[in-house]
A and B are shown apart, each in its own frame.
Chain A
Amino acid sequence: MSARDNILSKVRRSLGAAGDDPQRRATVKTRIADAAPGLIPARGQLPSEERVKLFCYYAEKYGATTARIASIEGLPGEVSRYLKSRNLPASVRMGSDPLLAAAHFESEPVLTVLTGASDGNDLAGVSHAQAGVAESGTLVLASGPDNPVTINFLPEHHIVAVKAEDIGGSLEEAFARVTATYGKGEMPRTVNFVTGPSRSGDIEQKIIMGAHGPRALHIVIVD
């Protein structure tokens, strides 16, 4: 018998259950098919404007900065402003995500835009988060041909655009968005839930920003 069969039969023996018990199988199938949400805290169920406010509150509590722009065309200007305010060179790395493409970065000629995955030499990266989670100030970034994961972790500064309408109340809403895009039970290779910039408390419990991932996270909310 294989290790797999041994383990599964040991589980069954310990539980006193039969593997082919149709009742148990049906219970499991139904549970996965229904995938019912559990308890959603009240603070994860606010109306839209309060939701965005709560999202900003928690994102900032965990060390992110936030800005709000009226439309996606405002993104290149906001990125420039951020880089300048931090004394950073006018250069960013980004994927070819449609929302970022619609921002028309060519409108900001001083800004150099490098596309594709990061090789670790970029000081700043720009991403599009498919969703936000108000209850904890969390961004949800899904990998794909236009959204390299390396941009989420390698640049020192991570600038993330998220549409106000994509900021949901709860983790469950974020999962529902992922499911709506990729299909029930399907996921892209990587989904990153990001709450603030990278940090470590491993030396004497003192929290320091910028452990291995970005030292700073700037969230741009797009109306």
Chain B
Amino acid sequence: MQITTPQFKENATRAIQDASLQKALKNVETGFIAKRLAATDALPEFDALRDNARDIKNHTLAHLDLYLEEYEKKVTASGGHVHFAETAEEARAIILDICRKRNAKSVTKGKSMITEEIGLNDFFEKNGIQPVETDLGEYIIQLRGETPSHIIAPAVHLNKDQIESDFRRVHTHLPAGRDLSEHEALLNEARQVLRKRYFEADVGVTGANFLIAETGSSVIVTNEGNGDLTQTLGKCHVVVASIEKVVPTLNDCAQILRLLARSATGQDMSVYTTFSTGPKRAEDPDGPEEYHVVLLDNGRTAMLGTEFQEMLRCIRGACMNHCPVYHAVGGHAYGAVYPGPMGAVLTPSLSGIEVGGNLPNASTFCGRCESVCPMRIPLPKMMRHWREREFEKHLQPTAARYGLKVWAFFAKRPKLYRAAVSVAMPLLSALGGSKRRIHSLPLAGGWTRHREMPAPEGKTFLQAWAERQATGAGR
């Protein structure tokens, strides 16, 4: 995909002014959060499972080379093929080669973020192969020539009417007077159109939520069943997965499965959790004749052994659903494959700090992402690491660097700091007037242009602290 992360600020401004996007984003804020809470409240062991899941992934990452070897052995033993790809380009070439050998003209696709990461659809089209997205949300955005704005609800930025007009524009073989005013009618139409595509496809491509070293299975978790039709009706099933998706055993997978759907959609289990192992067996009446797994690195090995290693525990769960920045600007503003807090950490890791360095700044550090992360990934801490690196590399705007230096000068000199504050605070307080709001402030125009700044009230923290110590309160 076209990475527009360096223009995050412009993207965000446009998103905030987009009324239709803002309406659609309300669905994220109200829908996902309440559903997750209900599901996790109903499982008293949820937090203990999060601890286990964290430990399982930490163990796996510490032995990742060996688990990949074990996994590869089992896939091969079950009649499948494993391909390793260091870069997106290598992965695309491997997949194209598989398709060419089968003379493929049409490829169905289950929903997968990793094929977005490697830009597979564009590559297919350039090489004369028709990619067909089969997940409803992915299908809709493919018709619009867009990228997903959310990892599990790719079309969450759209309203029903927009989708209706896309269907009318593209499905010209259907009667013009048909009623598409209801959600059901839109879904039925997509179902009907895509049914044919599954049967026509030569190859079915899916991602993987997990790879199991014990059995050589790939696992997909879906609600629609499109990933299953994709892999069952295509004559050849190609799984694209990044190397950190491996877990040791089925039982380890069970621990994490209990977290995944609850965190992401608030279901106890997603409708379909499918374990695929090798191609169809000799006597099987259906299923793919070939089974390939493409294991992608694309920057992950460089995260191992660094302060970003823990990010490789990510199972793509809940963070963006709970992120106030995501709620405000949506997924496209991030300008890269993975939006939200996970994207703010992953994008600089995978695409470089020069490209993704400003995303970790798009955080209020409210900590909600870490508090809901099923894998207990310390996302704010990692964003802070990226900010430090950005500062060290002199990538921030001059004004920000200068401002930070001024602040640091005072912060390192407590007496001077207190003296400055004792002058500044009453001044700011007076500026607030009777409404206690500041409408404009020199050097802070970027803030006050869009909102008022609350005027400081009462004592400073240090004054309050000193009084508290003196009276012995809180001891």
Task: Write the residues of chain A forming the contact surface with B, with a CB cutoff of 8 angstroms.
Answer: 2-4, 6-8, 10-12, 14-17, 19, 24-25, 27-28, 31-32, 35-39, 41-43, 58, 61-62, 95, 116-117, 120, 133, 135-138, 143-145, 148-150, 152-154, 170-172, 175, 178-179, 185-206, 208, 210-214
Cβ B280 vs Cβ A189 within 8 A: yes
Question: Given A191-B274, A203-B155, A211-B224, A153–B232 Cβ distance below 8 Å?
Answer: yes
Cβ B272 vs Cβ A213 within 8 A: yes
Contact indicator per residue, chain B 137-169, by CB within 8 Å of chain A (1) or not (0): 100100000000000011110111001000000
Contact indicator per residue, chain B 166-206, by CB within 8 Å of chain A (1) or not (0): 00000000000000000110111001001100010000000
Inter-chain contact total with CB atoms closer than 8 Å: 273
**Nearest-CB distance from B39 to chain A (Å)?**
11
**Nearest-CB distance from B123 to chain A (Å)?**
18
A193 to B219, CA, bound (A): 11
Residue among A187, A190, A199 with the highest chain B CB neighbour number at 10 A: A190
A210 to B267, CA, bound (A): 17
Cβ B195 vs Cβ A120 within 8 A: yes
Hey, which chain A residues are within 8 Å of B229, CB to CB? Answer: 153-154, 212-213
Task: Write the residues of chain B forming the contact surface with A, with a CB cutoff of 8 angstroms.
Answer: 24, 27-28, 31-32, 43-45, 48-49, 52, 56, 59, 62-70, 74, 78, 83-86, 90, 134-137, 140, 153-156, 158-160, 163, 183-184, 186-188, 191, 194-195, 199, 213-217, 223-226, 228-229, 232-233, 243, 248-252, 254-255, 257-258, 265, 267-281, 283-287, 295, 297, 301-306
Cβ A195 vs Cβ B301 within 8 A: no
Hey, which chain B residues are within 8 Å of A120, CB to CB? Answer: 195, 199
Cβ A193 vs Cβ B273 within 8 A: yes
A99 to B52, CA, bound (A): 38
Cβ A211 vs Cβ B275 within 8 A: no
Name the residue on A nearest B28 (C-beta): A205
Hey, which chain A residues are within 8 Å of B45, CB to CB? Answer: 39, 41-42
Hey, which chain A residues are within 8 Å of B233, CB to CB? Answer: 150
Q: Can you list 24 A-B contacts with CB-CB less than 8 angstroms, sorted by A residue number?
A: A6-B84, A10-B297, A11-B68, A14-B304, A36-B251, A38-B251, A41-B258, A43-B43, A133-B269, A138-B269, A148-B285, A149-B232, A171-B257, A175-B250, A185-B215, A189-B277, A194-B271, A195-B267, A195-B270, A195-B271, A201-B223, A204-B183, A205-B153, A210-B188
B281 CB contact (under 8 Å) in A25, A152, A189 = A189
Cβ B254 vs Cβ A149 within 8 A: no
Hey, which chain A residues are within 8 Å of B214, CB to CB? Answer: 32, 35, 185
A203 CB contact (under 8 Å) in B74, B187, B277, B303 = B187
Cβ A192 vs Cβ B215 within 8 A: no
Cβ B85 vs Cβ A210 within 8 A: no
B271 CB contact (under 8 Å) in A31, A42, A197 = A197
Question: Given A8-B69, A11-B64, A204-B159, A199–B52 Cβ distance below 8 Å?
Answer: no
A148 to B217, CA, bound (A): 19
**Nearest-CB distance from A57 to chain B (Å)?**
11
Residue among A41, A153, A203 with the highest chain B CB neighbour number at 10 A: A203
Question: Given A200-B224, A212-B226, A194–B153 Cβ distance below 8 Å?
Answer: no
A173 to B150, CA, bound (A): 34
Given contacts A32-B214, A200-B224, 14 further A-B contacts (CB under 8 A): A24-B63, A28-B70, A35-B251, A62-B267, A133-B269, A143-B286, A178-B250, A190-B287, A191-B217, A201-B265, A202-B140, A211-B136, A212-B224, A213-B225
Name the residue on B nearest A115 (C-beta): B285
Cβ A32 vs Cβ B213 within 8 A: yes
**Nearest-CB distance from A55 to chain B (Å)?**
12
A39 to B251, CA, bound (A): 10
Question: Given A171-B254, A199-B223, A211-B136, A12–B271 Cβ distance below 8 Å?
Answer: no
Hey, which chain B residues are within 8 Å of A212, CB to CB? Answer: 134, 191, 194-195, 224-226, 229
A194 to B49, CA, bound (A): 22
